[in-house]
Chain A
């Protein structure tokens, strides 16, 4: 019976990775939810927007590294994020000008815009792969661990080690800053208020003199920032591969829908719900349980509910359960 060790093992293998992953998902889902709220369609190209922004950031990271610029213990990629955001913003604004604006003027049905975003997805996907290739890219540098497992064991004398990767800490800190900034912007600035007004009721917002094109432009800029930051953090924490980012679409959408599409608060809650369930269900609980029960009861199997191959199934099942019992999501999203 050793609850302290059990808790450390739980933190090491479930809580900390899930918090980092949840923050990344939340940032991604915020982007999806903003597009849904303002532009009123589900953007299938969002995963590839993340991949594109991250790609630009990676290119700048390599350039900085080759010039010997670094942030010391922090990853150089943090310095490249603004450039990644600028690249993604330029691409998104160009796409909006060339592609989406036409359908907006026509007041096309949302489902047409979803199909259009499929085409955009193909193009972004191709762009990223032409420039950087389809393979894994490494761009993380700086200190790997905030606390290593060995150090922790030496410090505390516990049997279990606790490792906190610096990328996990950076993810959490960055996510908190970004979310705080976003909510401050949406709540207190004039532009933020006009965005919320536009999202609530388009006609009323137009009547009160809000310029829709400006609202849309600001939305794309914010989405570019959110997507790039989420993408870079995910890439630093795990690894960068265009296909993985495409596949992130599913958990990101699941987070946004579970929280309630169009609701920023819901997107964050959804991100953490999906992340915790994914990590929790594919984790082999043997180690934690072994500390909690008397030795004689120690489990024989791994106590893994599902193998890691099924992590997509987890987001999916949660998505379906929420939709069946609360169709607009936990935080009452909107429906177009």
Chain B
């Protein structure tokens, strides 16, 4: 831990504590919690880009899969929906998987395009014939409240590793197909995959209600209202001189912050150990000179697949954490600028190739993302102070203040790339 590292992390602490003193402790804790989640995402991207040099711009997709995992694990199952079409639906999915596996087998055996195409088309119709009635039956079960199969009803904390596994599985499939591609082709391919995952989340209502959203997900921490009704808690809050409402919201957020911090520290230690191990040195060797590493007998393709799966799993875990924090899954809110490119800004600004840098970038960029809006509001207020109260231009400028954050992120990224291209905490 150099002085620079220490200083920059102290700065983050000052920024968050400052928010607490100047604005409110609730917003400070909100920034802290999402900062912790962002740090996990940035760790994942850093593993892929910083250490292995893989250009993955499909982060959003893996984050969303993590969110889906929360619904699939923690929500109670809907027995009526299962009775209506559950088994047939599962059968259809299995058949779909078998068709794809069979097609790859045929391709490997006979290498005839038309045979594979015929098999795939026939398989597609069988799959749809099995799937469509089941989906219709499931979605017809009380569509206003459920209309989906529900989850497994397991504890919500279990959904974090499940989110990681789900994202890892998807990443394995995608990596098998796309990792052979050149870097910018891989970028476009992953961008497309992320959009497809979001499209699936939006369209497949039987899975997680699609755009009807799943709200009221179970929480790993107590509910505010229960705390406020608990005389012991009210008393304790009073002894700190706080009213029970504020105290309960802060207590809940602190609970999340503790859970997230424990997880982040574990993941960070693992990432650091991996980076310093022979495995980490091999990954960096592959990144810096693929041909030389291949000549030394390293299996580049397999190592790329491995690190792609690991990094995506981290994004999946972070996605599950975020959905747990939000308490709802809203597929419509997943936007590439926010969930893919912003994470990239975090990694580049923090210092790609340095795990601590990625964590730092996660905190700093998230802080900016949140705080640029009020700052811009103030600045815009000054700029427009000379204009008439009811001027249309003034109203428009004040309205567009929230868009300024995109502009700021772009400027920050370009400035860092130009003047400190290795980031705030460069790789050693």
Determine the chain B residues whose CB is within 8 A of the CB of A312 once the complex forms. 192, 195-196, 199
B191–A249 touching, CB < 8 Å: yes
A254 within 8 A of B: yes
Residues on B with beta carbons closer than 8 Å to the beta carbon of A102: 418
Whether A123 pairs with B189 at a CB distance below 8 angstroms is: no
CB distance from A161 to the nearest CB of B (A): 29
Residues in B whose Cβ lies below 8 Å from that of A140: none
Chain A residues within 8 Å of B335, by CB: 243
Q: Is the CB of B199 within 8 A of A127?
A: no
Q: Which residues on A sit within 8 Å (CB–CB) of B251? A: none
Contact partners of B189 in chain A: CB under 8 A: 316, 319-320, 323
CB-based contact B403/A122 at 8 Å: no
Q: Which of B188, B345, B414 contacts A116 (CB 8 A)?
A: B414
Cβ A115 vs Cβ B344 within 8 A: yes
A301-330 vs B, Cβ < 8 Å mask (1 yes, 0 no): 100010101101101100110011001000
Query: Does B341 sit within 8 A of A, measured CB to CB?
Result: yes
Q: Is B177 an interface residue (CB 8 A)?
A: yes
Determine if B406 is an interface residue (Cβ-Cβ < 8 Å).
yes
Known pairs A114-B184, A114-B187; A129 contacts B195 (CB<8 A)? no
Number of interface residues of B (CB under 8 A): 45
Cβ contact within 8 Å between A313 and B418: no
Interface string of B349-372 (1 = CB under 8 A from A): 000000000000000000000000
The yes or no answer to A125 lying at the interface (CB within 8 A) is yes
- Roughly how many angstroms separate A253 CA and B399 CA in the complex, as a whole number? 33
Asked whether, in the complex, the Cβ of A122 is within 8 Å of the Cβ of B184, the reply is no
Contact in complex: B410, A121 (CB < 8 Å):
yes
Q: B42 near A: Cβ within 8 Å?
A: no
Q: Which residues of chain B are near A111, meaning CB under 8 Å?
A: 55, 183-184
Contact of B404 among A114, A126, A250 (CB under 8 A): A126
Which of A115, A123, A316 interacts with B192 by CB under 8 Å? A316
Give the contact stretch, choosing among A69-77, A130-138, A142-150, A198-206.
Answer: A130-138
Contact indicator B407/A118 (Cβ below 8 Å): no
B417 in contact (CB, < 8 A): yes
Of A118, A125, A133, chain B has the most CB atoms within 10 Å of the CB of: A118
Whether B279 is near chain A, meaning CB under 8 Å from some CB there, is: no
Of B335, B406, B413, chain A has the most CB atoms within 10 Å of the CB of B406
**Inter-chain contact count A-B, CB under 8 Å?**
129
Expressed in whole angstroms, the minimum distance between the Cβ of B305 and any Cβ of chain A is: 16
Closest to B113 in A: A325
CB pair A99–B414 under 8 Å, yes or no, is yes
Contact B203 A309 (CB under 8 A): yes
CA A315 to CA B192, docked complex, whole Å: 8
- Cβ-defined contact, A119 with B410, below 8 A: yes
Q: How far is the CB of A285 from chain B (nearest CB, A)?
A: 13
Most chain A CB inside 10 Å of its own CB: which residue of B344, B417, B418: B417
Q: Which of B181, B189, B337, B410 has the most CB of A within 10 A?
A: B410
By a CB distance below 8 angstroms, the chain A residues around B418 are 99, 102
Closest beta carbon of chain A to B248's beta carbon, Å: 35
Asked if A120 and B414 make an inter-chain contact with CB atoms under 8 angstroms apart, the answer reads yes
* Closest-CB distance, B79 to chain A (whole angstroms): 28
Q: A103-124 interface mask toward B, CB cutoff 8 Å, 1 = contact, 0 = none?
A: 0000000111011101111111
Residues B406 and A323 in contact, CB atoms below 8 Å apart: no
Q: How far is the CB of A58 from chain B (nearest CB, A)?
A: 15
A316 CB contacts on chain B under 8 angstroms: 189, 192-193, 195-196
In the complex, chain B residues whose CB is within 8 Å of the CB of A119: 345, 409-411, 413-414, 417
Q: Is A289 an interface residue (CB 8 A)?
A: no
When distances are taken between beta carbons in the complex, the residues of chain A under 8 Å from B406 are 122-123, 125-126, 129
- A181 near B: Cβ within 8 Å? no
Contact check, A250 vs B337: say whether CB atoms are below 8 A apart.
Answer: no
On whether the beta carbons of B195 and A250 are closer than 8 Å, the reply is yes
A236 CB within 8 Å of chain B = no
Check A123/B414 contact, CB under 8 A, given A114-B55, A247-B195, A250-B195: yes
- Nearest B-chain residue to A251, judged by Cβ: B192
* Least CB separation from B53: chain A residue: A111
Of the candidates B183, B344, B407, the one whose C-beta lies within 8 Å of that of A127 is: B407
Q: In whole Å, how far is A36's beta carbon from the nearest beta carbon of chain B?
A: 9
Distance, CA A254 to CA B189, complexed state (A): 9
Q: Which of A122, A127, A257, A320 contacts B178 (CB 8 A)?
A: A320
Is A335 engaged at the interface, CB distance under 8 Å to the other chain? yes
Question: Is B185 in the interface zone, CB < 8 Å from A?
Answer: yes
B348 within 8 A of A: yes
Nearest-CB distance from B45 to chain A (Å)?
12
Closest A-B pairs by Cβ, 5 of them? A122-B410, A126-B407, A123-B410, A126-B406, A316-B192
Identify the B interface with A (CB < 8 A).
55, 124, 132, 177-178, 181-185, 187-189, 191-193, 195-196, 199, 202-203, 335-337, 341, 344-345, 348, 396, 399-400, 403-411, 413-414, 417-418, 421
Can you name 12 extra interface pairs (CB under 8 A) apart from A129-B406, A250-B195?
A111-B55, A114-B184, A121-B410, A122-B341, A122-B406, A123-B410, A127-B407, A130-B400, A249-B191, A253-B188, A312-B199, A327-B182
